[in-house]
Amino acid sequence: MTVEYDKDLSRHNTFGLKVSCACYVEFGSEDELRKIYGAAGEFGFPQPFLHIGSGSNLLFTRDFPGTVFHSAIRFVRPLDSKEKRPGEDDVILVEVGSGVLWDDFCAWCADRGLWGPENLSGIPGEVGSAAVQNIGAYGVEVKDIVKEVRCLDVVTGEIRILPAKECRYGYRDSIFKDTAKGRYVVTSVVFMLSSTPAPRLEYGHVREAVEKVCGPVPVPASQGNSCSPGPDTQSETEWPEALTPGLVRGTVIGIRDSKLPDPSVTGNAGSFFKNPVVPKSSYSIVENYAKGRYGEGYSVPHFDMGSGFIKIPAAWLIEQCGWKGYLEGNVGVYEKQPLVIVNVTGKAVPDEIIALENKIVHSVSEKFGITLHPEVEHV
Ligand code: EPU
């Protein structure tokens, strides 16, 4: 265990904000973590406690008065087939420590030809926070491949294994962020991988980019529709030889790099807001606005969630309000993806980001009557 007092957190939040915490502790095992909670009084670490990964989805609104914990539990362990349950014969189970960099795990899978996390390649952060936040990109969410999450229950001091179902995953949401916030500290995650191709290419231009390299790719049965039913089973499908998890990973990283700022160059925390899910009546207001502005033939980008709800890209709403590429002092709205707030000069202070956030929320609400909610966690 390493302990540092009055620690500068600039390198522990991808916004690059110069904030500090009273104490910073890195633990390398479940035993160390148990000791921290079992003997909090003995160690005397200042309260409150906060667990972070790479700080890639965090906005420190001020210096943190308590102790920031970080997992250095780093291992990738394929599980013995005996640990598989019936019906999971095709699934390769791999347990990964919470402190492993998420993209290192994606690369590990791609290097071994294993399908699962390839669409989530390039996302900053670590495995533990990926499971807390239910990271998602290019049509996949991490919940799709999580089998179970191992954590310390800080109330009972026991290690618990939560099956994915008990994590109650939703869009960028889980019990770890909601009803059980502060109760569990993730130590490892078991993922379900597959050596049989399981490409998910239907988001945006992913299919087009992949097919440029490997030629036409059949639509898997589970992703087919009435117009394109796809083959009956994945094993019957004739996949192009060049279609590998590595190809999809490389394609996704290429798309990300062309749209999202690199936090090691320009401070940011990815999408600052969630994409709002609104009732059809609210969507109609947006549609009327767009038709008035761009003509009857214009179609607002949206996704029908069923049950009368529509998801609208926050990026589109923010762009309509004129924020794309906006600069003010040390902060701005990224010119290629307005869902991302950036620390343009590297010298931003939390209040500048919060002021810009508030202005954006206010203007979208004024124009469309829709309230944007931050995706980035404010601490
Ligand atoms: N759009 C615009 N203007 C822009 C950019 C996008 O109007 O300048 C509209 C377009 O209609 C586009 C739509 O927004 O089709 C969606 O854009 P994009 O595919 O870039 O995705 P997003 O909804 O803005 C989400 C995730 C990202 C993830 C991408 C790709 C959220 C909050 N964000 O963004 O995740 O990489 O999809 O799957 O769900 C993150 O969570 O930090 C993150 C970057």
Q: Is the CB of 271 under 6 A from ligand 1?
A: yes
Distance, CA of 15 to CA of 264 (rounded, Å) = 9
pLDDT digits (tens, 9 = 90+) for 132-162: 999 999 999 999 999 999 999 999 999 999 9
What is the CA(259)–ligand 1 centre distance, in A?
9
pLDDT digits (tens, 9 = 90+) for 297-340: 999 999 999 999 999 999 999 999 999 999 999 999 999 999 99
Please choose, from the candidates 79, 51, 52, the residue with its C-alpha nearest in 3D space to the C-alpha of residue 190.
79
Catalytic positions: 172, 271, 375
Q: Is the CB of 119 under 6 A from ligand 1?
A: no
Q: What sign does the CA torsion over 164, 36, 96, 272 have? A: positive
pTM for this model (two decimals)? 0.93
Angle, alpha carbons 175-181-185 (nearest 5°): 90
Whether residue 154 contacts residue 182, with contact meaning beta carbons closer than 8 Å, is answered with yes
Give, using CA atoms, the residue closest to atom 19 of ligand 1: 204
Residues 6+ apart with CB under 8 A from 160: 150, 151, 152, 153, 184
Instruction: Enter the DSSP assignment of 218.
Output: P
Q: Is the CB of 259 under 6 A from ligand 1?
A: yes
The b-or-e profile of 44-77 (16+ CB within 10 A means b, else e) is ebeeebbbbbbbbbbbbeeebeebbbbbebeebe
Q: Return the best residue to mutate from 316, 319, 320, 334 for the ligand 1 pocket (most ligand atoms within 8 A of CB).
A: 316
Q: What is the pLDDT of residue 39?
A: 65
279 three-state secondary structure: strand
Q: Which atom of ligand 1 is nearest to the CA of 57?
A: 42
Q: What is the pLDDT of residue 86?
A: 64
Copy the structure tokens of residue 13: 């939040």
Q: What is the pLDDT of residue 227?
A: 36
Q: What is the pLDDT along the chain (379 residues), one digit of tens a residue?
A: 999 999 999 999 999 999 999 999 999 999 999 999 886 556 789 999 999 999 999 999 999 999 999 999 999 999 986 666 666 667 999 999 999 999 999 999 999 999 999 999 999 999 999 999 999 999 999 999 999 999 999 999 999 999 999 999 999 999 999 999 999 999 999 999 999 998 999 999 999 999 999 999 998 766 644 333 344 455 578 899 999 999 999 999 999 999 999 999 999 999 999 999 999 999 999 999 999 999 999 999 999 999 999 999 999 999 999 999 999 999 999 999 999 999 999 999 999 999 999 999 999 999 999 999 999 999 9
Q: Is the CB of 339 under 6 A from ligand 1?
A: yes
Q: Which atom of ligand 1 is nearest to the CA of 375?
A: 32
Q: What is the pLDDT of residue 304?
A: 94
